[in-house]
Amino acid sequence: MNKRCALGVLLLVASGWFHAAGASSEEVIEEVYLLVREREILAFSAVGDRWVTQDLRPGERVLDSEYGGHVAVAVTRLRVLGFSALTSKWNEEKLIVDEVVVEIEAKGDVGTVITNLRALGFSAKTGRWVVVRFGPK
């Protein structure tokens, strides 16, 4: 390898353009923080550089919450709430009568809530929930 070619490879490696085989080329850093209070939930978007508040209804309280990457998810007895750091907006999906939350997770660009009746997926990129209802067993 000549000196000019070696210098080019060294510059590519130093500038981060070269990735080893199998390495992830896209790593999501923490861009969201969630703060649960008695009557509200506040989400901070590092992308939008602001706090965004979601009011809770009278008697409503957060039962569980998770946040990571660009997404935050909170569950109350009435609804599931998703926050996108990319859009700096909240979005909600109402829970069905007798629906029980089994699992909640938030990381990267995806938030999920799994219940006994449905799987709910929240996209930080679109700021919306996508829901699939489970069929009979």
Could you report the average pLDDT of every consecutive run of 10 residues in the chain (137 residues)? 40 35 60 96 97 97 97 97 98 97 97 98 98 91
Sheet of 79-84: strand order equals 62-68, 71-76, 79-84, 89-94
For the whole prediction, is pTM greater than 0.85? no
pLDDT at residue number 137: 72
pLDDT at residue number 63: 97
Reading phi first (left if > 0) and then psi (alpha if -120 to 50, else beta), residue 62 is in beta
pLDDT at residue number 136: 84
**Assigned token pair, 108:** 């990267």
**Assigned token pair, 132:** 């699939």
d(CA 60, CA 39): 8
Q: How many helices (H) and strands (E) does the chain have?
A: 1, 11
